[in-house]
Structure 1
Amino acid sequence: MSSPAAGLKSVDYEVFGEVQGVFFRKYTDEQAKKLGLVGWVKNTAQGTVIGQMQGPAEKVHFMMNWLKSVGSPMSRIDKANFSNEREISKLDFNSFSTRY
């Protein structure tokens, strides 16, 4: 199984803590674009930030680590949950965006 798209991953995430009103989505958007990932980020009514990202496995893993330990300068990350992690054959998105 060595198609040209081998190694693409998709993962959903939810970040808990002080992650709203601290530019968390803006920094997430910028970091994902810098890594060449596609997907989205969004605030929830519960005070968390959720999203989905897709791209090369090593970049997705880097971003997962960033989401659970770095975030925006003013954020406080209590925990990050990752779910639905899977290999994909093609990207479902053209870019990374902030949803409202």
Structure 2
Amino acid sequence: MGAQDGPAAIVSTEFEVFGQVQGCYFTKYCRDMCQQLGIGGWVKNSKTGTIVGKMQGERAKIQQMVDWLSKTGSPGCKIDHCDFGNWEYLARQEFRGFSIRF
């Protein structure tokens, strides 16, 4: 198993969360979770009522966020499902910090 495959491997993915996810501070909770985990990237409300974003970090921590985005979310939200795409391995994180975009 190479360094690129371990839990500390740096991975990047884009996500879109579907359901009743706007108007319940989803982006703020997402940002706070990612900052706690040391994940870089961004999140924002889309015009179609979903939440979209990109995150980069250690694979084990990204996996924690995959679970959070798919099942937990912010208090009061109702997640139908979450799609992930453009998975890639990175030599290092490109984003410094995690931001909410508008």
Amino acid at match of 2:81: K
Q: How does 1:9-28 map to 2 (within 5 A)?
A: 9-28=11-30
**Equivalent in 62, 65, 72 of residue 63 of structure 1:** 65
1:52 maps onto 2:54 in alignment = yes
Give unmatched runs, 5+ long, in structure 1. Answer: none
Q: Measure the CA separation in 1 of the matches of 2:89 and 2:10.
A: 6
Shift of 1:75: 0.4
Deviations 1:46-72 (A, max 9, x none): 000000000001000110110000000
Amino acid at match of 1:95: G
Give unmatched runs, 5+ long, in structure 2. Answer: none
Amino acid at match of 2:66: M
- Distance change (3 Å), C-alpha of 1:77 and 1:2: closer
**Equivalent in 90, 93, 96 of residue 92 of structure 2:** 90
Shift of 1:33: 0.6
The CA RMSD measured in Å over matched residues stands at 1.3
Helix, strand or coil at the partner of 1:25: helix
TM-score of the pair, normalised by structure 1: 0.93
**Misfit runs of 4+, over 3 Å:** none
Aligned residues: 98
Aligned to 1:33: 35
Deviations 1:27-61 (A, max 9, x none): 00011111110000000000000000000010001
Shift of 1:2: 4.4
